[in-house]
Each structure stands twice: as C-alpha cells, then as structure tokens.
Structure 1
C-alpha cells in the first residue's frame, strides 16, 4: 500500500489482562513500579511471579495442587494478542515444553489494544481488506478493517471518469470493521476504486456490478474448507480470479477455529481476520464479489450445532467480517440470505444456528419457510441452493457424515416435495464440507403420469485443506463423478443461449485445470408431462 501520510502510532501493547493458553486461563496483573508482575492460571491452581522486560516476562511458576514449580519465559508478540514461550521444572536444565496463549478480550485503544489479525497490512489506511462483498445491479458493498478510528473514504470511478464517494468512521467496539455502501452504479459495469484516510491511500482496485436480471449469462464460483491461512503461495484463488466469475461464494469453513479460537468474541475475530489476511485470498477479494456463510469450523467447535453456547457471539463476529446486504430475518437470526446474479438467484442457507434445536433438522421451521417461500417467489430462471452441508447423496449417511439425508430427512423431503408440487423450475444444489468433490444426480421422481424435475448437486471441497482420499464411487447410485485426492473449486457457468446445455457444472483444480464438466438441460429441471404417443 502506498502512504500519503505517516500512520498514527498505536501505543505499545501491555502484557496484562486475560489470555487463554495451553495451561488454562492466564490472568496477569499490571506490572508494579519495579516491573514485577503477579498472575494466576487455572491449571492446577497455578501462580506466577515474574519480571517484565519490554514485552518479555521471565519468572517463577508454582502449582499448589500438586506441589510442582519451576521457571518460565514468555514474550508478547508485537500484535499484542499472542504470546509464546517455554517452561521447565525446577532443576531441569532444558526447557520441558511450550507455553503459548492468545488474549481473550480486546484492550482499549489507549491500552495498546489491537483488533487486527495476523498479517494485517503494516501501513496505509487499512488493517485488512478491501473485500468486495455483495453487489447488486446498482450498488456495491466494500468491506474493510480500518487502521484506527479516523474517518475512511472510498472513491469509486465510473467508466466515464465520474467519481462517486462514500465514507464511514470505524468503531473500536466493531473491531474497526465496516462496509462502504456505494450506490448509483450501472449493471454489469467495471468500476475502479481506492480507499483513503489520514493514514494514507490504497492502491487502485476494480470490481464489476451484478449483471442485470434479464442477462442471459452468469458465472458463479464457489468452494469450502479454507484452513491454510499461513500459506500465502496458494494458487487456487488466483485460478478462481482468472475465471472472472460474477460472484465467489465461500460456503462454509471460511476459517477454522481450534480450541483457543472459540473461547471469546476476540479470539473468534482474530480467527476470521487471520484467514481474511491471506495474501493469495486478498488478491481475489479485492476485485470479485464474495459472499460467505458458515459451517461448523467457522461457527465453533467441529460438528457444533444450534446448542453451541456462544452462538450469538459467533454470529456477531461472523457478520462483522462479511458484507452481505442481509443476514437472516428481523426476528430469525442467522447467516442465511439470497442474492440475485443475472439469470440466477443464489440461496445461502445457515446449516448450524438451528441444527437439532427442534429435533432432527438443520434449517429449523422459520428458515425452511424462508427458503421455500423464496424459491416460489424467485423470478430467476435458475435457483441455486448453495448449502454448506450435502443435500442429495446417500453415501454420507453410511459414513456418518453431516448431510440432509442423515440429519434432516424430513426437511429434505419437504424441500423436494415443494419443488415438485409447485413446479419450481431450474433448481440446482451446491455444497461443500466433505474434503472431496462429488457430482450427484437424482433423476426426476414419478408422480402419477408426471415426472418431477431432475436434481443435480455439485460438491466442491476443500479449497485449502487436506483431501479425504477415500473414494466413494460404487457406494451410491446418485454419485456420477468424484475427485477424492485433490483440492478444488466449483463453477456454475450459465448461458441461456446455449440450447439444451444451459448450465455447466464444472470442477477445477488449484491451477484452474478442469477435473470434470457436466452440461445440464434447463428443460429437465421442471415437472414434465408424459410425451404423447404418435
């Protein structure tokens, strides 16, 4: 990022407060005038006395519950949120193990608090971003995390050279996160933009608004399971960018929480932001409209459901890091929404917030009603249900994996019956989660003399995690194709003028090479009358 002015200097972080660590919760009192720090930690009733030298604590520990003691050295990282170090028993020459932790709560600005995640921008107006969020035909949301609480401005430049400006003031309690809302745009056009504050000016980026509702073509990229935030050489996001999609949907496990990460709102925010700050992902997000919904790992512990004890905090943190026009309904919280992209409407359900709250089920009654009503009301020729959890196949049931057939068979039957009974045309399912990729096909079900619509589902997973490497072909008659040994992303390429091949479901590898491609006849995605005998 280029700087126009020197950034404000944040006060040096203080090595005090509460941290979650591999020895439980560590609470450090402020240093006294001599630099001595007292503290406690929950493992075995632990106590410490140490000397503070800059950002390093060196001292003694004791654990009264089992009579052991020793010494330690831990250092607070410059970000003020993480510490690393070592401990040993009294009389031991070598260090016996590591002592690492992460701050549980955001300190105030005057205390040297830092809302930024790992690999934040080191200079300029932003700590994180920009990310092009949801775009419509005439408006765009651009997500950012400011460097501090000074005003941020965005300048958007039209193809004709006109400048459109918007601004907002980042709030500390919102982790300096927010979204510019830029209106007065035109459908399907390319706009350049830059962001500034008294801390400097970003480079110039570009994005494209959504194609008009009457457009004949659209391209939708999607994927799930992004673990490797530390790998800045990932090629998969650049490959997605080369496909130049109208939108990129990250449908679950947009980040990964481990035990230290789901302890508080602060640790959840740091988790989302460290993934957002991956250099390879940044390049894509700055220019392609990107949508996000969660699955279990960016919601809480693995396999967590609607009974997750801090799900309201998880929802607040997740919403703060994404830029959809809406999340849930006024009286039905969650991350679900729908987005129109030219000839397609994308439905993004929430697979966690209501799971198992009303017995077997994933969506819950209110969200299921929202989905069915939205499908019936949609005027888009193609309706895409982009679920973090697999919807149609049978093989996850035998393997004990999350899926609608195992966890929500009643909801699944309600969805399929509703599509058939109301002749909801053009429905296609996308999914993730599995660490392998599947192409699923269910031929239309017979209803008297009529045949219901064919049902297709493309599962793409993982974006940046280890593949499952256990092929399922031959175990499920609905499974037509699979890739079990490669990372991948999916594409839905729509061209309504490509007669009898209007929808292409494509799976690609991290370099952009095609694993497989399946063309679908749009006329088969509707209830069909019997063919009259000649």
Structure 2
C-alpha cells in the first residue's frame, strides 16, 4: 500500500507510518488514540512525585517568638511551602499523638517562606517539632529529639523549643546575646556550640547577622540563607527562641541611616526572614518591637530606619530612633510592670566614635532623661557593632545605666558573646552578666541588683 505522507517520529520516539485507514471507525480510532495516549502521559507526569530537590529545606527551621502558650516556627523551601505542615508534641510523652498545624505562607516569584503559629501550649514546657510535607509518608514522630549538636547529619527539619513562664512570673532564666557574624570569613563559627552549652532560654541577635551591605531584597535573602547554612548557627536557631534586630550591614550599606535608598525592601526582607512579634506600629514602619519573658520586658530598638546621618550636625534636630519610635518606647517603659526593662539595639552608647549614640548627644540625653525623670527602674541597655564584648556603666544624672556590648561572635578575634542571667525572685532581683570568649574563658562576670538600678525618692 502506498504511503500517503512520509514517515516521522512522534514525540515518544516511535516511528509512525501514516496510512489511510480503511473505514470510518478505524479512521476515528486512528485520530483519537494518539490524543488519549498523550492525555494519559500528561496525567501521569502531573501525578509523579515532585522533584525532591525542590522540596529541600533552604535552612533548618527557626524558632522565633515564643510565649507561655504559643510558639512561632519559620521554614522555607525552594518550591512554594503551601504543602508544609508542622507536627509537634511534648518531649518525652510517649502516649500522646503529635498535633499538626498548617502555616501562613508568604510567597512570590522570588522567595517563599512559611510561619507556623503553634497554639494552646503549656507554660515552661519543652516541645519537639518536625516540618514535613502533607503528602509525604510520615515516619513515627520521635519521642526524644534528635540532638543536632550530636547528630549533625539529622534530617534538618526537626527541633525543639521551651515555652515561656507566665507573663509577670518571678523566677530565673538566661538570655544569650550576640552580633556580628561573617560566614565568608568564619565558615565554622564554633562559638554557637559554646553558647548552647550555657542553656539560654532565648537568644537576642543585635545586628550585622550578615554583611550584605545593600537594601536589595534578593541579596539580603541570599546572605541570610548562607549564614543559616553554618551548622552550629542553624542548630541554635532550631532549638532556641531567637529575636533579631538589624544593624547597618544587614539593613543597608556601612553606617547606613534613614536616608538609605530602598530601605522599604530591607524591611520587607527582615519581616520575611524571621518569625517575630509585629514590627513597628500602624503609623510608623520599622523593625522595632517588644516582648516579655517572665518578669523581664525587652524592647528591640531600630537604630537605622529613622536615624539621622552620622555626619549631620550634632544638635537637637539629630535623631537616633526618630520621634515616633521614641514615643513608642517611652510609653512602653512607663507602662511596663516588669522588674527589668531591657533596651536592645545594634549601636553602642559610647564605645563607637564613628557610628553610635556618642554622635547623637541630644538623642542620648533625651533617652537618659526620660528614664530618670519618669522614675523608670531596672533599665539595662544591650548593643553590638564593635567586634568586641564588654560591660560599660554610664552616668545618666540618675542611677548608672548598665550597657552590655556583645559583638564579634564570628567576626572578631575573641569570638565572644554575652549572657544575662536574671533572678527576679530574689529579695533584691539581680542580673548577672558574663562575657564569654570562644576559648571558654570568662573575662568579665558581674552581678547588678535592682536596688542599684532604681531612681529612688
């Protein structure tokens, strides 16, 4: 029989010989069969398992804001995380089946992340968690955590967190403080393991977490993911509630301020990359926020978004926080019932002569005056920036203001950090401050009492 058309391979690699069918029925089948085959193949391809690489976690999960009854856990994958869920359960509770919670997805064409808001938790209780896809086979939920510090090859999706004590409860806990880490210069960063050994209840990051030196959102994401790939840093973030604040290098260029072009993109990236309490206020954007742990309240201050340039005239028009953020801070301090009130920001009060409050006399004196004139007891200040850790005490016209500088955990000679151990149940509540070097030595260890931080009559 002669060929009506030349032979040709089809899309499946088979040689098709086109002949004229002998009957209408055969002719219909001849036309329909290829379409049926194509539809089946397409359906099978659609139902095929997703490429495992696209489902890989972009970092270990991060434990963020934790209260006495809730916890926030951040995660991100290469594909949209809409199918991710979080399983959690009490540590060491073999009888209980894990609970499951879906996340709130934040995704666009460039980046996607998900935050799981875990509800109805018990105060001062340790929970295990695991992030997994809803359609993947579930292994038995672990009753004891895979310790990432002992098993760095663990699945990278699991961790734990301990809830806070009831708000206002007097007691003891330790907070770790760090800043300034450079994954390019310090790829291992072993001081995180030493920090974990101090058993902090929570961790404050005070800026220069990365050295992106730009407001470009994509570059900021890339730098943060690179830092989170540092094994011991990722392990700490997946097991310890972490509260972050930026400084210049993870906000914009070196010594950047409120005039930085694209600062809105930096703020967007910051909000996407952490699981924090609400940022700013309805009327005033920024990275500032507050939270409380037991009987200590923390005010995370944004010293960049509304800041006047360092080189502006040092007069009463020069601002560090901006008037709106300062008013928010003063209202929070005056209404706080916490024993200690901790202010935390990247910029030092005096140590830096190039990029700190020392260049902002009016703003610094206004801060001191607001604390003392309003009779606000128990205020301490935490900072970073200078690639060294130390304790400074400042005269304010009232009680001495203790500043704890913690900087250079992974970008400084000493690889240092600080811990603050609060005991608000003591007759005279105390804050013990320790400066810890990467070699384990403790060059400074001082305790400060509330009576030393009181305005008096």
TM over 0.5: yes
Q: Which position in structure 1 is the counterpart of 2:412?
A: 466
Cα distance in 1 between the residues matched to 2:124 and 2:252: 37
Q: Which position in structure 1 is the counterpart of 2:455?
A: 527
Cα distance in 1 between the residues matched to 2:373 and 2:420: 26
Structure 2 residue 358 is the aligned partner of structure 1 residue 405: yes
Higher helix share: 2
Q: Which position in structure 2 is the counterpart of 1:53?
A: none
Aligned residues: 376
Q: Which position in structure 2 is the counterpart of 1:152?
A: 84
Contact 1:454 1:526 in 2 (8 A): no
- CA displacement 1:478-532 (0-9 Å, x = unmatched): xxxxxxxx12111110112445571101110124432211111111111124xxx
Contact 2:210 2:249 in 1 (8 A): yes
Cα distance in 2 between the residues matched to 1:378 and 1:174: 40
Contact 2:189 2:409 in 1 (8 A): no
**Aligned partner of 1:163 among 98, 106, 109:** 98
Q: Secondary structure of 1:273's partner?
A: helix
Structure 2 residue 166 is the aligned partner of structure 1 residue 212: yes
Cα distance in 2 between the residues matched to 1:459 and 1:418: 22
Cα distance in 1 between the residues matched to 2:109 and 2:300: 28
Cα distance in 2 between the residues matched to 1:164 and 1:377: 37
- CA displacement 1:388-424 (0-9 Å, x = unmatched): 1012x3x53xxx3212121x22121111111111111
RMSD of aligned residue pairs (Cα, Å): 2.2
Q: 1:263 to 1:208 in 2, by over 3 A?
A: closer
Gap regions ≥5 residues in structure 1 = 1-120, 446-451, 468-485, 530-534
Structure 2 residue 446 is the aligned partner of structure 1 residue 518: yes
Contact 1:156 1:163 in 2 (8 A): yes
Structure 2 residue 117 is the aligned partner of structure 1 residue 184: no
Q: Which position in structure 1 is the counterpart of 2:72?
A: 141
1:272 Cα offset (Å) = 1.9
Larger Rg: 2
Contact 1:217 1:343 in 2 (8 A): no
Q: Which position in structure 2 is the counterpart of 1:339?
A: 291
Contact 1:386 1:430 in 2 (8 A): yes
Q: Which position in structure 2 is the counterpart of 1:295?
A: 247
1:123 Cα offset (Å) = 7.9
TM-score by length of 1: 0.67
Contact 1:361 1:409 in 2 (8 A): no
**Aligned partner of 2:188 among 229, 233, 236:** 233
Structure 2 residue 449 is the aligned partner of structure 1 residue 491: no
Higher strand share: 1
Gap regions ≥5 residues in structure 2 = 1-51, 139-154, 310-315
1:268 Cα offset (Å) = 2.1
- Higher RCO, 1 or 2 (CA under 8 Å, sep at least 6)? 2
Q: 1:239 to 1:411 in 2, by over 3 A?
A: same
Q: Which position in structure 2 is the counterpart of 1:5?
A: none
Q: 1:191 to 1:248 in 2, by over 3 A?
A: same
Contact 2:215 2:252 in 1 (8 A): no
TM-score by length of 2: 0.77
